[in-house]
A = this chain, B = another copy of it.
């Protein structure tokens, strides 16, 4: 229904000259795609290229795909020119609903309706963005994390009028493009990653407001404590593995009462049997048949590498 096959895409369009638009352009170029970048005004070209320059250093360090070249980039301030041959469109316009709605009605005309269009928005829903759009079925959220040329996450979710096949196509395309897609079934504000980050951020602001910690204390705590482990295992598997043979079941059954302790200002959910089982089953599926001692060893190898990488980057 949507074309071409995700693995056959060779030409993409990015819309926007900011860190997200330019960051996506850099990423797609590094993965070997031809990129047509639309920027609102050629006055933004310098800023756009500066972000590309910064991103390219890291992308080369990671390793470029075969045939990848900055020569495969064209930049234009003509929207129709940018998208007319695109096999996928990554929209990164400013976060204003009316502006995005107007943009999507223009894309109706310029982009064949079996081509998927993804929005990088972090704060709006696709149901709202696609409201006035005649080709709403092919529009999805494809939300990256800054910097988009480095962090692999892309959160994907459709709006009310989105065809589920467009969501599936986007997931497959982002996988081909070297990203780590996360498909969501519900449109919730902030998606998954920003909600988690925001909970932490609000608690940090509470602590600074109460004189309990300085911004530097917050960062010292994160950098030297939970963050390196979280970069390796997330939070569910970190607890699952730390509890040894008992895993997440031990964590929840033993430390569940600690959810009632005044650690953070966020009220905890009721730890129902159903929630407990969802957590336990999810972790056991993710662990598959790996023994926790192997996972501890892998975690530790990765943390050693992370600590060394962070130190080395300072030189």
Q: How many copies does the complex hold?
A: 2
Determine which of B151, B198, B232 lies in contact with A310 in the assembled complex, contact meaning CB atoms within 8 Å: B232
Does A195 sit within 8 A of B, measured CB to CB? yes
Determine which of B54, B152, B278, B286 lies in contact with A300 in the assembled complex, contact meaning CB atoms within 8 Å: B54
A234 and B223 form a contact (CB under 8 A): yes
Majority SS at the chain A contact face = helix
Question: How far does the Cβ of A188 sit from chain B's closest Cβ, in whole Å?
Answer: 5
B266 and A203 form a contact (CB under 8 A): yes
B264 and A195 form a contact (CB under 8 A): yes
A151 and B303 form a contact (CB under 8 A): yes
A264 and B261 form a contact (CB under 8 A): no
Complex: A298 Cα to B232 Cα, angstroms: 20
Residues of chain B lying within 8 A (CB to CB) of residue A207: 188, 192, 195
Chain A interface residue count, CB cutoff 8 Å, equals 114
Name the residue among A62, A221, A229 with the largest chain B CB count within 10 angstroms: A221
Task: Knowing that A58-B303, A204-B235 touch, tell me 18 more A-B residue pairs with CB under 8 angstroms.
Answer: A19-B242, A123-B258, A152-B307, A182-B221, A188-B207, A193-B222, A195-B263, A196-B226, A199-B202, A215-B286, A216-B285, A220-B234, A221-B234, A222-B230, A227-B231, A227-B234, A264-B266, A309-B309
Interface residues, chain A, with chain B CB atoms under 8 Å away? 19, 54-55, 57-58, 61-62, 123, 145-147, 150-153, 155, 180, 182, 184-186, 188-209, 211-237, 239, 242, 248, 258-259, 261-272, 274-275, 278-279, 282-283, 285-286, 293, 296-310, 312-314
